[in-house]
Amino acid sequence: MVRALRADAERSVRAILEAAEQVLAEDAGASMEQIAEAAGLTRITVHRRFANRQALLEALAVNAKQQLIDAIEEARPDASPALVALHRVTANVLRVKSTWRFTLSHATAHTSTAAALWEEINTHTVKLLVRAQQEGLLAPDADLEWVRQVYYALLSEALNRPGADQDPDALATLVIDTLLHGAGPHG
């Protein structure tokens, strides 16, 4: 019986977080009651899981960042050449970023847990960029901190491209091609 309650609580939390992402994307000032309604739950249930709006925002930030880490790890970046790994990671990250667009693009709660997850994301990214540099995809003297910042900007811009094909694999190809070759002629 305890297990069923735990599974039910997990489903409620997942429903609340997904509803919060959708509702807040439309109206950043939406109430907990509006989020509860979108989740198909009572306001009391939402408050049972999240004491207040700040707690919900913190949970959103942690959840979205953990999903980014899961997406990176799911790509198994150490199991293939850097170019293949970079494409897999990029496509997976774009899938998560498109699902959690509001949370990942707005200033959300920055708890120590969220900060630690962000640091883990950065570590994964730099590790992959180091491999890309070692395999000759990036110049030997490239500033990897700058490359990381540009890569993150390209990820965001790819998702915001008007009228663009939102297929994560196509966007990943665009991001990687731009990162590695810029806008100059390929040759």
**Residue 108 belongs to some domain of the structure:** yes
Do 63 and 16 share a structural domain? no
Question: Structurally, how many domains does the chain consist of?
Answer: 2
CATH of the domain at 28: 1.10.10
Residue 187 lies in a domain: no
Angstrom distance (rounded) from CA 14 to CA 35: 12
Confidence of residue 174 (pLDDT cuts 50, 70, 90): very high
pLDDT in tens, 48-91: 999 998 899 999 999 999 999 999 999 999 999 999 999 999 99
Residues 66 and 19 in one domain: no
- The 10s digit of each residue's pLDDT in 141-162 is 999 999 999 999 999 999 888 7
Q: How far apart are CA 23 and CA 102, in angstroms?
A: 9
pTM for the full model?
A: 0.86
Domain CATH code at residue 163: 1.10.357.10
